[in-house]
Chains A and B, each alone.
Chain A
Amino acid sequence: MTTAQLTSLFPNDVLARCERLRINPLRRRTNHSRGEHHAGKGGASTEFADYRDYSPGDDVRYVDWNIFARTGDPFLKLYKHEEEMHVVLLVDGSQSMQFEGKFDLARQLAAAFGVMGLLNVERVSGYATKSGMGAIAMLPSCRGRVSLRKMLAFFEGLEGGGAFTVDDMIEQALKRHSGKGVCVIVSDFLTTGDLTRPFNRLHSAGLEIYALQILGPTEMDPELTGDLRFVDSETGQTLDVSSVGELLGLYHEHRRGLADHIATLCRQRQGRFLSLSSADDIQTVLFDQLLRRGWVR
């Protein structure tokens, strides 16, 4: 007897393992709303944090009467405050992602992060580009296990295409979003635009950047030679290149340079960056690479 799959994005066992993981941000970026994350300041949770002198006007319910009985001085018991964290999932669905399973892996990763967020009572919202100029698909902010099907259906139903760049996508998402937390960006980051500004805006919006670059195997290690005419899948623009084989060394330098550049942008904003191949298995990425790097725990 086979169990029905909850989602077509990944099997149930992967889903089950994802449910046991939680996102591990470098900084506490939480909202004032009550949540599962301990805030730096005192709160009303059951977990003891510290003592302080009583000040007039404090709630007398928090006075530690045992200490008052021994010393005669009122001390106030402080408890940790638990706040919610917002998980923003950005999926690049442009035409450049429609190669070699890049978009599929992007949807899987975004859904996995969404599962982690919802199952840990975070607030999750999603944004993805789709075909058509200026169009962007949106998953409204949701929370809890009850939103799991909704979130999975959103990423299952995504259709890629179009020439939406990743920086435009970030701009569009920030117009609709508010709240601190983590912003997971899944894209190939193959854009001629400058990512500095959108990354600055993400940082200033209180979002820790989780940048995941997905490249196809032929982008990682192209096997090309001779005189070729390259055609851009998004714009249709062409580029004649002679003796491509001669330039592959330079290509690899530039590919690594792009990855280093994005990683630097992320690091400068207390973010994280990881470059993946679309040939990588989702389980390997989630339970090996991300776990070992401390992205999740």
Chain B
Amino acid sequence: MNWLPGITTPAAAWLFALLVPLVVFYFLKLKRTRVEIPSLALWLSVIEDQRVNSPFQKFKRNLLLLLQVAVLCLLALAAMQPFVRGRSQRAEHLPILIDCSASMAATDDQGRSRLDLVKQQVREIITNLLSGQRLTLVAVSDSAQRLTEFTDNQRVLLDALNRIRVREVEGNLEEGLQLAQALARSFQIDAVRFYSDGNLPLRPDETGRQVAGVNFDLPFELQFHRIDPGGANIGITAFTARRSGPERWDVFVRVEGSDAGQTAAGVELLAGGVPVGDDTIILEAGQSQRIVFTYDSADAASLEVRLRPDGPDSLAADNVAWLDLPVSRPLSVYCPLELAAYRHSLSGLGGIELLPTGGRDPQRALYDLVIADDLAQADQEAQTFLFIGVVPADLSSLISIGTGLAQVVDWKRDDPLLQHVMFQDVEITDQPTLAEGVDEGDIESLGYEILVQGNTGPLVLRRREGRIASVYLLFHTDRSTLPYRVGFPVLVSNVVGLARDQAELSDVRGIATGVLPELQVPSKAAVDVRTPSGQSLSVLPDAEGTLKGIAAHEVGQYDIRQEGQTIRRVGAGLLSATETSLWGVEEIQFRELTVGASDQPVSTDKPLWSYLAYAAFVFLLVEWWVFLRRPGGEAA
């Protein structure tokens, strides 16, 4: 570190040339006031005594001149903008990423939030901004938002900094880094500064150790400045319900505590605002516990769970969650009579309305599950499709069905659709084959997920298009030994389970903040969405009357209004184990390198011009005082 101060504007040194006219004018303008006194006798002896005894007589004689020279020198130095070199490297364009995810609202013992501490540090950087340095502020939560252009305007930067608010969502550093990477294409960016509490999603590395991994190649230096995490916290991290009977739900609430210490809270379950369950929970540091409530209802209901922390609780956003229970009804499944094996398996499952029955079936506009071996059935209205022996139309040029014995190479054993289904030694006489020059990547690029891979091509595909999930068995099960395997009814049961999930008939999950799920509205008129803080958003539903992509950055209930009427109320909770834990990582693992956290505030270049200007002002006041002061000495 160079201890010599740097100079930002050396050209301002020409101001020192003003010393010459200052001195010249001082002596030219020095006009003494004539004062007639009775006798010089006393003053002559005084002056003689002063000459003998005062070594600083010349200094005192021209004190005003010296003070004026000092003022001018200080002003000239201030204009040169000297600065004390900091430890951190000086960058001309510096993006500052500020984590404003939910955990940044956590408070410490003194009631200061993490975001407040970050703002304090960033404010110091802005205040000490040197000439030629430009900053841009980026707020990072589940998405990244650039708050300012690259600017050295302190007012603009401070205004933007003050506008930053915590978003009660999970953080996603990758979004911020991608934004910085985009900026690096336009500006020379050597380093990016990231301020966070280090509360990032964890994943196991090769050794099984939990690390904060970000799938990103850093094209610049990332300076990770970590703020100490908040105090003890307890919060709801999961809120789900599972149907346990025709009119009964098991409601699960997972409550987790932070590592800071023991936490306790009361847990209250409300249905439509009326308490239906209450419990108390005590957690050791870092522990979690699941509480089960039973709720009897065949009708739709809105459940709310609230925590009443008994002791310090750093984060308030994770103390409440909502969940909407659907009306109880059987799952409507369309399965042609020709697919006897499937109908046989379906008939053994409860809670299913299987159509067609062969008689006069009621006309249905919407099914929960359609099982078909003909692509023409795709025209039916359903949320879940299972096609057997069908190649999707957009894959017809990539996959052909040949004759031959296809062999299963591998399948996703942990996928909910294939759980407990063994494809080993299944004989398949249809042989889906990839066209020449086509590989699995081409299939996946079209939005398909390969669940079962054969020796010549994929055997089972899944695709999600909005709210519709489609599973394609590229081979017909009638031309395979799969229906004779134990796994076949299990596969059908898994498909039914998927359909129940899609129809939200069996498992219901609480809605987390971020983006609200797609919502069906009665008409295509504009919808007014009122956020919990009272803000109003106008959203247009699509052609099918579906609302999509409504941002939910606050915990609370969102009023969906159409034509002045509240048509639905959706509650969103934080429901994030990462954010609730307030855990702060020491390092972030990127693809090729690891970035460690620094707890120390950034030692930036500190400009000295303001101190010099203050000193010049003080010298000016002293000079004014010397010029105007009342005479000293003692009265007789």
**Contact surface of A with B, Cβ cutoff 8 Å:** 95-99, 102, 188, 190-192, 216, 219-235, 237-252, 254-256, 258
Question: Could you list 11 further interchain pairs (A-B, Cβ under 8 angstroms) beyond the known A245-B629, A247-B50?
Answer: A95-B38, A96-B39, A221-B635, A229-B35, A230-B43, A232-B39, A235-B40, A245-B632, A247-B633, A251-B633, A254-B49
Beta-carbon contact of A248 and B37 below 8 Å:
no
Partner pick for A245 among B33, B39, B44, B631, CB 8 A cutoff: B631
**Chain B interface size, under 10 / 10 to 19 / 20 to 34 / 35 or more:** 20 to 34
| Cβ-based interface call for B185 (8 A) | no
- Shortest CB-to-CB span from B190 to chain A, Å, is 56
Partner pick for A252 among B34, B63, B633, CB 8 A cutoff: B633
| Cβ-based interface call for B20 (8 A) | no
Q: Which 4 A-B pairs have the closest CB atoms?
A: A248-B633, A190-B39, A96-B38, A249-B633
| Cβ-based interface call for B364 (8 A) | no
| Cβ-based interface call for B1 (8 A) | no
In the complex, what residues of B have CB within 8 A of residue A237's CB? 40
Beta-carbon contact of B636 and A255 below 8 Å:
yes
A237 to B45, CA, bound (A): 15
A10 to B456, CA, bound (A): 141
A225 to B60, CA, bound (A): 13
Nearest residue in A to B627 (C-beta to C-beta)? A226
In the complex, what residues of A have CB within 8 A of residue B33's CB? 226-229
A225 to B630, CA, bound (A): 7
In the complex, what residues of B have CB within 8 A of residue A233's CB? 36-39
A244 to B633, CA, bound (A): 10
Beta-carbon contact of B32 and A240 below 8 Å:
yes
| Cβ-based interface call for B42 (8 A) | yes
12 pairs across A/B with beta carbons < 8 Å? A102-B38, A188-B39, A220-B635, A223-B630, A230-B35, A230-B36, A232-B40, A239-B43, A241-B47, A242-B62, A245-B633, A250-B46
Query: 1/0 per residue B180-192: CB within 8 Å of A?
Result: 0000000000000
Query: 1/0 per residue B411-441: CB within 8 Å of A?
Result: 0000000000000000000000000000000
| Cβ-based interface call for B41 (8 A) | yes
In the complex, what residues of B have CB within 8 A of residue A240's CB? 32
Beta-carbon contact of B35 and A228 below 8 Å:
yes
In the complex, what residues of B have CB within 8 A of residue A221's CB? 635-636
Nearest residue in B to A250 (C-beta to C-beta)? B46
Beta-carbon contact of A239 and B38 below 8 Å:
no
Beta-carbon contact of B47 and A192 below 8 Å:
no
| Cβ-based interface call for B30 (8 A) | yes
Beta-carbon contact of A256 and B636 below 8 Å:
yes
Q: Give the total number of A-B pairs whose CB atoms are below 8 A apart.
A: 120
- Shortest CB-to-CB span from B298 to chain A, Å, is 99
In the complex, what residues of B have CB within 8 A of residue A231's CB? 34-37
In the complex, what residues of B have CB within 8 A of residue A220's CB? 635-636
Beta-carbon contact of A258 and B42 below 8 Å:
yes
Nearest residue in A to B635 (C-beta to C-beta)? A221
Nearest residue in B to A249 (C-beta to C-beta)? B633
Beta-carbon contact of B39 and A246 below 8 Å:
no
Nearest residue in B to A98 (C-beta to C-beta)? B38
Beta-carbon contact of A250 and B49 below 8 Å:
yes
Nearest residue in A to B628 (C-beta to C-beta)? A225
A258 to B50, CA, bound (A): 16
- Shortest CB-to-CB span from A224 to chain B, Å, is 6
Which residues B358-379 have CB closer than 8 A to chain A?
none
| Cβ-based interface call for B634 (8 A) | yes
Beta-carbon contact of A251 and B38 below 8 Å:
no
Beta-carbon contact of A222 and B46 below 8 Å:
no
**Contact surface of B with A, Cβ cutoff 8 Å:** 30, 32-47, 49-50, 60-63, 626-636
Q: A221-B636, A248-B631 are in contact. Are A227 and B39 (CB under 8 A)?
A: no
A254 to B42, CA, bound (A): 7
In the complex, what residues of A have CB within 8 A of residue B61's CB? 242-243
In the complex, what residues of B have CB within 8 A of residue A222's CB? 631
In the complex, what residues of B have CB within 8 A of residue A239's CB? 40, 43-44, 47
Q: A232-B39, A243-B61, A246-B60 are in contact. Are A223 and B34 (CB under 8 A)?
A: no
A256 to B34, CA, bound (A): 25
In the complex, what residues of A have CB within 8 A of residue B49's CB? 250, 254
In the complex, what residues of A have CB within 8 A of residue B631's CB? 222-225, 244-245, 248
Beta-carbon contact of B40 and A243 below 8 Å:
no
In the complex, what residues of A have CB within 8 A of residue B37's CB? 219, 230-233
Partner pick for A243 among B44, B63, B636, CB 8 A cutoff: B63
A285 to B499, CA, bound (A): 122
In the complex, what residues of A have CB within 8 A of residue B42's CB? 190, 219, 251, 254-255, 258
Q: A223-B630, A249-B633 are in contact. Are A188 and B38 (CB under 8 A)?
A: yes
A235 to B511, CA, bound (A): 104
A188 to B627, CA, bound (A): 32
Q: A97-B38, A254-B42 are in contact. Are A248 and B632 (CB under 8 A)?
A: yes
In the complex, what residues of B have CB within 8 A of residue A191's CB? 39, 41
Beta-carbon contact of B60 and A192 below 8 Å:
no
In the complex, what residues of B have CB within 8 A of residue A241's CB? 43, 47
- Shortest CB-to-CB span from A108 to chain B, Å, is 19
A239 to B50, CA, bound (A): 14
In the complex, what residues of B have CB within 8 A of residue A249's CB? 632-634
A245 to B61, CA, bound (A): 11
- Shortest CB-to-CB span from B377 to chain A, Å, is 107
In the complex, what residues of A have CB within 8 A of residue B45's CB? 254
Q: A216-B38, A219-B38, A231-B36 are in contact. Are A254 and B46 (CB under 8 A)?
A: yes
In the complex, what residues of A have CB within 8 A of residue B39's CB? 96, 188, 190-191, 232-234
A234 to B44, CA, bound (A): 14
Nearest residue in B to A251 (C-beta to C-beta)? B46
Nearest residue in B to A99 (C-beta to C-beta)? B38
A3 to B396, CA, bound (A): 145
In the complex, what residues of A have CB within 8 A of residue B62's CB? 242
Q: A241-B47, A250-B50, A254-B46 are in contact. Are A230 and B634 (CB under 8 A)?
A: no
In the complex, what residues of A have CB within 8 A of residue B46's CB? 247, 250-251, 254
A256 to B635, CA, bound (A): 11
- Shortest CB-to-CB span from B554 to chain A, Å, is 68
In the complex, what residues of B have CB within 8 A of residue A96's CB? 38-39
- Shortest CB-to-CB span from A160 to chain B, Å, is 11
A251 to B42, CA, bound (A): 7
Nearest residue in A to B37 (C-beta to C-beta)? A230
In the complex, what residues of B have CB within 8 A of residue A223's CB? 630-631
- Shortest CB-to-CB span from A225 to chain B, Å, is 5
Partner pick for B30 among A216, A225, A227, CB 8 A cutoff: A227
A192 to B61, CA, bound (A): 25
A223 to B61, CA, bound (A): 18
In the complex, what residues of A have CB within 8 A of residue B44's CB? 192, 239
- Shortest CB-to-CB span from B58 to chain A, Å, is 9
A243 to B47, CA, bound (A): 11
A102 to B74, CA, bound (A): 51
A231 to B38, CA, bound (A): 8
A231 to B629, CA, bound (A): 23
Nearest residue in A to B40 (C-beta to C-beta)? A232
- Shortest CB-to-CB span from B345 to chain A, Å, is 111
A95 to B37, CA, bound (A): 10
Partner pick for B632 among A97, A216, A227, A246, CB 8 A cutoff: A246
A170 to B235, CA, bound (A): 107
In the complex, what residues of A have CB within 8 A of residue B38's CB? 95-99, 102, 188, 190, 216, 219, 233-234
Beta-carbon contact of A243 and B60 below 8 Å:
yes
Nearest residue in B to A218 (C-beta to C-beta)? B37
Nearest residue in A to B62 (C-beta to C-beta)? A242
Beta-carbon contact of B633 and A229 below 8 Å:
no
A201 to B293, CA, bound (A): 126
Nearest residue in A to B48 (C-beta to C-beta)? A254
Beta-carbon contact of A192 and B41 below 8 Å:
yes
A183 to B177, CA, bound (A): 105
In the complex, what residues of A have CB within 8 A of residue B40's CB? 230, 232, 235, 237, 239
